Each structure stands twice: as structure tokens, then as C-alpha cells.
Structure 1
Amino acid sequence: MAKKLVIIDTDCGIDDAQAIMMALAAPDIQIMAVTCCFGNTTVENVCQNVLKVLSVCERDQIPVFQGAAGPLIGASKPFSDHFGTDGLGDVIKDRDPEWEEKIQKEHAVNAMTRLVSENENQVSLVALGPLTNLALAVRMDRHFPKKLKDLFIMGGNTEGKGNVTLCGEFNFVMDPESAYIVLEEFLCPTHLASWEYSCRHKLTWDFFEKLINQDTPAAHFMKKITSKCWAYSKEAMMNKRDVYFGSGFVSYDAYAMAACIDSSIVTESIECAVHVELQGTICRGMMALDLTNQLKKSHHIFVMNKCDLAKFSQLLMDSLRKPCNK
């Protein structure tokens, strides 16, 4: 059976790295390209992080493309240090000084539109960061969305609970206009793993210890990049007052990737229209669900609601256990 063709668009932080390794280990996935966007850190750091992940997994032949360095409108916002200033926990000392030579010369948005046009209705796009590259793609080719097989997004929120602002999730707040454009104009089947969905399906710290203590190069790498990151510290997270979801570790981007790899992992979705708010000081970047059809939109997306945690956990474990597919 032919492998599923996938393009990964990422702002590669630690959870992105985990999601990419999950795809690399999946036997039925063929990664056509990794396109990079600003988000967890600068786009230059993102490119280097992706190259490092591919190197650890001995998959250097996968092309990496540099994309948007900032949002569609306005100046770039300060980068989050959730995963360290470099996105990978500030522990990678052996960065490749010749990394720029390993990045494709073609811009990420051009590569994305070209690859999808060459493989019309066959490519799944997994978006793990701000949606700037995707918004630029539809502005360059208005038919781009209908050429996709489907789209998987990690981002947005469903209950007005924010993780960087009062009401907004990080990926959408970093570029609200792009999130708005994508959710308005991408009419292909779209599946979204929200912040709340990810947090409600957190995993135990005991599982996390088993995950990173496997004796494989990928597990050693994951243990290293999480070693000094407060977001992967049991003590720090337990001491942090989490009024929403309680204790546990969350590999946010892996939830969207898992849905792309195995649709049965999502056991319940909400099918509805959505709207990304662009106004206001409190709600800018917030995603609202239109459960009562007040917006009268014909296009609905699938908002993930329930997850098979046993299957998801197995995919995570396999991502660091198995040799990555060559």
C-alpha cells in the first residue's frame, strides 16, 4: 500500500521535535518536506532544530525549507521561552556552523505550493506552529487549499482559555490574521487539535520517564532537550498552579501528528464552523466555535474532542523506540 504523503510545517520546539520523530517512525508516512516558520524561536533557529532532529534520526535526505520570519501584520512578538530561547531547551551546544548550506534555496511557501500542485489531492499538511506559511500559500495560489488531501492543525482554543493571553493560544496569538485566513479559506477537510484537547489528554510523569529512558539515540536526544526545560519538569509543573488541567506532561504538537498518522486515535470530534477573533485587547487570536450556526458558514472543520490515550501513548513510545524508517 502506498505511503501517506505528508508535509510538516513547524516552528520546531521540543514538542514539534517529538511530533516530527513520531512521523519519522510511522511505517505508512512519507515526509515530503519540512517547512519552517517563526514561533517558538526565530525561523533560523527553527531550521537548525529541524536539521538536528533529522540528523538524530538519520533522515538527513528529507528537504528542509526556510519560511516566514514573522507574522503577516505588524512586528514579530517576543518569542516564548517555554522550550528555551532556542526552542530545544538551550542544551544543544554542537550546532552545525554550516547549517545554512543544508537548507533548500527555495522558499518554504514556494516549495509547499509546488509539492502540493505536483501531487494534487494526495498530500496531508500538518501545521504545528503559527499559520503564516499557509496563509501566504493561499495568497500565492488561491487554489492551494483544494489541492490538499487534508489539513491537521495544532493550535487555537475552544473555551476561551488562553496559555499566552487571557483568551488566546500561542500559535494563533503569534499570527491571528494567518489563523483567520486559514480557517476561513482552507476548504479541504481540516482537523484541529486545540490547546484544551491536548491538555485534557495529558500523560503521567511516570510514562514520561519510561519514554525518555529508552536506550535509543532518539530517546537520548529527547532526554537531553527536556533536561533543563521547565515545561518538562515534574517538580516545576506540579508547583505551578494549574487551575485548568492539573498535573501531567503534554506533548502538544504530537496530538495533531498522531491524528494524521492514525485517524482512529481521535475517538470524537465536534464538526462545526469556527471563527478567529481579530479585534480587542483580550480576545484577539481566540478561536470561537459556532455550535449554533449563527455565522451561517457552509464550511465546517473537525475539532478534536476525545482521544484514545492508549494508542496515542504507543505512538509516542514507538517514536523513540523504533529505528526511524529509512
Structure 2
Amino acid sequence: MAKKLFLLDVDCGVDDAQAIMMALAAPRVQVLGITCCHGNTTIDNVCRNVLRVLKVCRRSEIPVYRGADVSLLGEQLNAHFYHGKDGLGDAPEPNAPGLEHIQAEHAVNAMIRIATMYAGQITLVATGPLTNVALASKMDPTFPSKLKHLYIMGGNMEGRGNITACAEFNFAADPEAAHIVLNYFTCPTHIITWEYCLHHPLPWAFFEEWIHQGTEKACFMRKITAHSETIAKNKQGNRELYLVPGFISCDSYAMATAIDESVVTEHIQVGVSVELQGSLTRGMMVLDPSNLLKKQHRAFIASKCDMEKFSHLMMSALK
């Protein structure tokens, strides 16, 4: 069977790294490029982190592009508390590739070029703020129609936030960009929300087995996840954010679904938008099951996961 052509847009923190490694391990996936966006850490750190992941996977031939360093309004959030200041658990590698390996072409230009070159064939997986994706549609209004599929890790479906009371991090980091993408993209759009991730954690026993496979990839993962593992377990003990204890790799759920759509066993198809004005709800994803917004394009919102298939993809990522 022909390989799926992927373009990855990331703000490479720990779970982005896990998702990238999953894609690179999938035999029926060809990653044509990785575009970098602000988010979990600074844009320079994001670029460095992607290069580190490609190096450990021995896939440094894949081009990496530097993209937006702030939101459309010039703002910037970060997730240093969870991912570490460098985005990969503050576990540096002395021989990590430098920024001289980043392509000269801007990420948004690369996205448009690749989507045009392979019109109707590209699956875009976006695991960070949607700034690059929104900018691509503004620079080339035909960009959304050239994509085969768009998979997004972001937003929420129950009003549960993880950075503000009502907003998930990726959407809160650039609400205007999320609004553009959700309201103006017409390609099949699949959204993996924060709550979907919360409802489908992996046991911590799985995590221990996963990072102790004895491979170079597993050793790398054990090193970069030590910080976030501690933070997650502490938070789950206090029940501040999590529904049940367990290992949650948010971006990997989106990547797994892009690789194999049958990983999602149930979904709803509904019009969606993003709140921009609310003092408490800015950045919250709004679902419109009653069709009051009269949207012609409806997104696929995942609701249930085949955990056996997801676990297999996770395990294969570090083999």
C-alpha cells in the first residue's frame, strides 16, 4: 500500500517528541517535513528539540523549518513547569545538533509549498498552537483545500482547561489562530481534545515497561521524561487536573489517530469554534451540536479510543 504523506507542525516538548517518534516508527508513514512553532518552549528550543529527536531516530535527513515565535497577536505562553525550560525535561545532550541544521525556508512557506506539491495527499498533524497553520491559510487561501486531512491536538469539549479555567494550552496560546483554523478550514478535520486524553490514560506500569525497553530510543525517552513524570504524578495525587491516575501523552493520541483512524472507536461530528472575548473562557473550544451556528463544515471530535491499538503504537515508537 502507498505510504501516507505526513507534515508535522509541532512545539516540541516531551509529548511532541513521543508523537514524532511514533510517526517515524510507523511503516506506512512518510514524514516529508517538520515545521516548528512557539508553545511549550521558545522557538529556538523547539527547533533544537526536533533535531534531537530526529538524531536519536537516525532520521536527520527529514527537513526541519523554523516558524512563528509568538501568537498572531504577539503573545507567548510556555509550559516550562511541565516540560522543563528547554522543552525536553532539562536533560541536555552535549552533542545535540545545532540550529545550523534548520532549513532557511520559513515554516509557513514550506507548508504551502509541500501542500501544493502533493495536493490532496498531505496529512497535516498539528500538536502545538495553530499559528503556523493559520498563517499558511492567510498567505494561501487555497492551502486548506489542498490538505487530505488535518489532525489537531488541542481544544476541549467539556469546558475543562489545563492552562486557564476553560482553555486547553494549545488553543489558549493562540486563540485567534485556532479560530481561523476551526472556522475556515474545509478539509476533513479531526480533533483530539484535552478531555479525550484525560479519559484514556495508560497505566504507569505501561510507562515503566515502555521506557525500559533497552533501546537507544527508550533510553532517550527515559531521560527526557523524568521531569514531567514527577510533575504528572504529583498533580494526579492532588486531583487538580486529572480524572484518574495514569500516563498521558497528549500529542501521541493525535498522531496515533492520523496513523490509524481505527484507533478512535467513537466520535461526534459537529460544528466548532473558539471563544475569543470571554474574560473566563477565551481560548475555549465551543461545540455546536444543535447547529445554531449553521456551520457547513463539521469537525470530527474523538470520544473513545482503542487502547490496545494505541498502546501498540506507543510501544513500537521506542523499539
Q: Determine if the TM-score, normalized by the shorter chain, exceeds 0.5.
A: yes
- Residues in 2 aligned to 1:39 and 1:293: alpha-carbon distance in whole angstroms: 32
Which of 14-23 and 68-77 deviates more? 68-77
Determine the structure 2 residue equivalent to 1:324: none
Q: Does 1:292 align with 2:290?
A: yes
Give structure 2 stretches of 5+ with no counterpart.
none
Give the alignment's TM-score, normalised by structure 1. 0.95
Determine the structure 1 residue equivalent to 2:132: 133
- Residues in 2 aligned to 1:243 and 1:40: alpha-carbon distance in whole angstroms: 18
- Residues in 2 aligned to 1:224 and 1:242: alpha-carbon distance in whole angstroms: 26
Identity of aligned residues (%): 55
Determine the structure 2 residue equivalent to 1:241: 239
Structure 1 runs, 4 residues or longer, greater than 4 Å off: 230-233
Determine the structure 1 residue equivalent to 2:21: 21
SS in 2 for 1:197: helix
- Residues in 2 aligned to 1:201 and 1:141: alpha-carbon distance in whole angstroms: 37
**CA, structure 1 residues 72+233, in 2 after alignment: closer, same or farther (shift >3 Å)?**
closer
- Residues in 1 aligned to 2:79 and 2:227: alpha-carbon distance in whole angstroms: 18
What displacement does 1:20 show? Answer: 0.3
Taking only aligned residues, the RMSD between alpha carbons, in angstroms, comes to 1.3
What displacement does 1:269 show? Answer: 0.7
What displacement does 1:75 show? Answer: 2.8
Determine the structure 1 residue equivalent to 2:67: 67
What displacement does 1:148 show? Answer: 0.4
Q: Any conservation in 2 of the 1:23–1:257 contact (CA below 8 Å)?
A: yes
What displacement does 1:93 show? Answer: 3.9
Letter in 2 for 1:273: G
- Residues in 2 aligned to 1:95 and 1:231: alpha-carbon distance in whole angstroms: 26
Letter in 1 for 2:18: Q
Determine the structure 1 residue equivalent to 2:46: 46
- Residues in 2 aligned to 1:81 and 1:51: alpha-carbon distance in whole angstroms: 22
What displacement does 1:243 show? Answer: 6.0
Give the alignment's TM-score, normalised by structure 2. 0.97
What displacement does 1:233 show? Answer: 5.2
- Residues in 2 aligned to 1:30 and 1:92: alpha-carbon distance in whole angstroms: 28
Q: Any conservation in 2 of the 1:48–1:95 contact (CA below 8 Å)?
A: no
Determine the structure 2 residue equivalent to 1:269: 267
**CA, structure 1 residues 56+245, in 2 after alignment: closer, same or farther (shift >3 Å)?**
same
Determine the structure 1 residue equivalent to 2:37: 37
Q: Any conservation in 2 of the 1:40–1:81 contact (CA below 8 Å)?
A: no
**CA, structure 1 residues 233+74, in 2 after alignment: closer, same or farther (shift >3 Å)?**
closer
Q: Any conservation in 2 of the 1:179–1:276 contact (CA below 8 Å)?
A: yes
Report how many residues are paired. 319
Letter in 2 for 1:167: C
- Residues in 2 aligned to 1:245 and 1:239: alpha-carbon distance in whole angstroms: 11
Q: Map 1:88-237 to 2 at 5 A.
A: 88-94=88-94, 96=96, 99-230=98-229, 234=233, 236-237=234-235
**CA, structure 1 residues 166+231, in 2 after alignment: closer, same or farther (shift >3 Å)?**
farther
Map Cα deviations across residues 5-50 of structure 1 (whole Å, 9 max, x no partner): 0000000000000000000000000000000000000010000000
Which of 69-78 and 176-185 deviates more? 69-78
SS in 2 for 1:23: helix
Give structure 1 stretches of 5+ with no counterpart.
322-326
Letter in 1 for 2:143: F
What displacement does 1:311 show? Answer: 0.4
Q: Any conservation in 2 of the 1:42–1:79 contact (CA below 8 Å)?
A: no
Determine the structure 2 residue equivalent to 1:250: 248
